[in-house]
């Protein structure tokens, strides 16, 4: 694009990965790197926001993939990109569709900001409470059960695809907030018996301990974990959020005691030795009373995002194909947002 980008222009990756699209959020000009296209719909013919959503549909993705080339890395060149077909209704209908889907995305973005702000406030409250804390002689091992996990044999199909959540570090690194609601893989009761992980209860603190050290989540459902975790269960429930924030604030120290030739790993043995900063019971209680509703608010906002995203993803192909009309969706969208 020879002229500067504008709000609602579409940027599209040409390879590695192919076809990842985003909307330019402001009128501030952007400099596009290699392997990124800038796209703008022609006024009166193609609405740019509609174009962005078109790139999320299976039909356009398939067309994009079909016109790409490459043996090692799949990519598309500009002449081929220009031939990608964008099924589109009349311009006014395009704008209406983009308005509906955009309203859902705007609500998701607002909820994401609410969750991030609530988390930051909780962390700030913890830092303020630390001013009244001192280093204790108690370690994480003194204050909590510290455990790990394992992986059932992948050669035994009966161990897999059961009804028991089984977390891997990727489940945590993909989260927008530290609340594990579901896992990408599940195991059976036999799989649980055959691996080194117990079924950890809701409220357990999960921390990744290898490769990526220090991704966190509080389990929102009973779950097993693989060997890439340190799992902490405070002995006193009153210390749950205190220990959670203490762990999050100590990641740099954890990394300093990690070792490994292929990738860094923090052993449970080393983790257990860390002493914990503690304050008077009244200070910890006051912190918890403020932090808990903040975390609840953040979690609820992100849970709502899951429902909003599911609604958007269900509506997207129906609207883009013309099977649903915008005028038929007012009650659905109003209920969602």
pLDDT tens readout for residues 30-73: 888 889 999 999 999 999 999 999 999 999 999 999 999 998 89
- Judge if 266 and 303 occupy the same domain: no
Residue 2 lies in a domain: no
Q: How many beta carbons lie within 10 A of that of residue 286, not counting itself?
A: 15
- Judge if 167 and 250 occupy the same domain: yes
Residues spanned by the domain of 316: 99-116+289-336
- Judge if 166 and 243 occupy the same domain: yes
Residue 112 lies in a domain: yes
DSSP single-letter state for residue 211: S
pLDDT value, residue 329: 72
Read off the pLDDT of residues 157-213 as tens digits, 9 standing for 90 and up: 999 999 999 999 999 999 999 999 999 999 999 999 999 999 999 999 999 999 899
Read off the pLDDT of residues 88-100 as tens digits, 9 standing for 90 and up: 999 999 999 999 9
- Judge if 156 and 237 occupy the same domain: yes
The answer on pLDDT for 337 being more than 70 is no
- Judge if 222 and 175 occupy the same domain: yes
pLDDT value, residue 33: 84
Mean pLDDT in the chain?
Answer: 94
- Averaged pLDDT, 140-165: 97
- Judge if 104 and 200 occupy the same domain: no
Q: pTM of the entire structure?
A: 0.89
**Which helix (H) or strand (E) segment is 258 a member of?**
none
What is the CATH number for 192? 3.90.220.20
**Which helix (H) or strand (E) segment is 180 a member of?**
strand 179-180
- Judge if 18 and 40 occupy the same domain: yes
pLDDT value, residue 3: 74
Residue 202 lies in a domain: yes
- Judge if 161 and 273 occupy the same domain: yes
Instruction: Kindly give, in sequence order, each residue whose CB lies less than 8 Å from that of residue 43, ignoring residues fewer than 6 positions away.
Output: none
Which two tokens mark 110?
């607002």
The answer on pLDDT for 321 being more than 60 is yes
Residue 1 lies in a domain: no
Last residue of a domain, one of 238, 257, 278: 278
Residue 211 lies in a domain: yes
The answer on pLDDT for 238 being more than 80 is yes
Domain count across the chain: 3
- Averaged pLDDT, 143-154: 97
- Judge if 145 and 245 occupy the same domain: yes
- Judge if 303 and 233 occupy the same domain: no
Percent of the chain exceeding pLDDT 70 equals 97
Residue 203 lies in a domain: yes
Residue 159 lies in a domain: yes
Residue 284 lies in a domain: no
- Judge if 68 and 174 occupy the same domain: no
pLDDT value, residue 1: 46
pLDDT value, residue 325: 82
3-state DSSP percent of the chain in helix, strand and coil, to 5: 45, 20, 35
- Judge if 218 and 188 occupy the same domain: yes
């Amino acid at each position: 694009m020879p002229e500067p980008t504008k709000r609602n222009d579409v940027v599209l990756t040409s390879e590695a990965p192919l076809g990842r699209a985003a909307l330019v959020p402001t009128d501030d000009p952007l400099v596009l790197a290699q392997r990124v296209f800038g796209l703008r719909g022609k006024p009166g013919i193609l609405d740019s926001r509609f174009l962005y959503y078109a790139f999320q549909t299976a039909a356009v993705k398939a067309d994009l993939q079909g016109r790409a080339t490459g043996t090692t890395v799949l990519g598309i060149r500009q002449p081929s990109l220009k031939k990608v077909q964008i099924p589109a209704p009349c311009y006014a209908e395009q704008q209406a569709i983009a308005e509906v889907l955009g309203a859902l995305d705007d609500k998701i973005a607002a909820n994401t900001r609410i969750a991030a702000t609530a988390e930051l406030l909780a962390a700030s409250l913890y830092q303020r409470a630390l001013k009244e804390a001192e280093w204790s002689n108690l370690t994480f091992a003194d204050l909590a059960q510290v455990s790990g996990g394992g992986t059932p044999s992948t050669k035994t199909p009966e161990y897999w695809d059961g009804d028991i959540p089984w977390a891997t570090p990727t489940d945590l690194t993909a989260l927008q907030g530290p609340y594990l609601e579901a896992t990408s893989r599940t195991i059976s009761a036999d799989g649980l018996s055959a691996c080194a992980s117990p079924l950890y209860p809701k409220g357990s603190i999960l921390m990744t301990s290898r490769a990526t050290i220090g991704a966190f989540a509080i389990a929102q459902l009973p779950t097993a974990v693989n060997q890439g975790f340190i799992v902490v269960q405070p002995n006193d429930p009153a210390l749950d959020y205190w220990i959670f924030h203490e762990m999050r604030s100590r990641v740099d120290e954890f990394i300093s005691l990690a070792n490994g030739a292929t990738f860094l790993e923090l052993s449970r043995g080393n983790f257990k030795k860390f002493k914990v900063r503690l304050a008077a019971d009244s200070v910890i209680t006051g912190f918890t009373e403020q932090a808990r509703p903040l975390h609840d608010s953040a979690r609820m906002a992100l849970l709502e995002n899951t429902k909003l995203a599911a609604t958007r993803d269900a509506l997207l192909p129906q609207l883009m194909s013309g099977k649903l009309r915008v005028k038929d969706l007012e009650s659905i969208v109003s209920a969602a947002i």
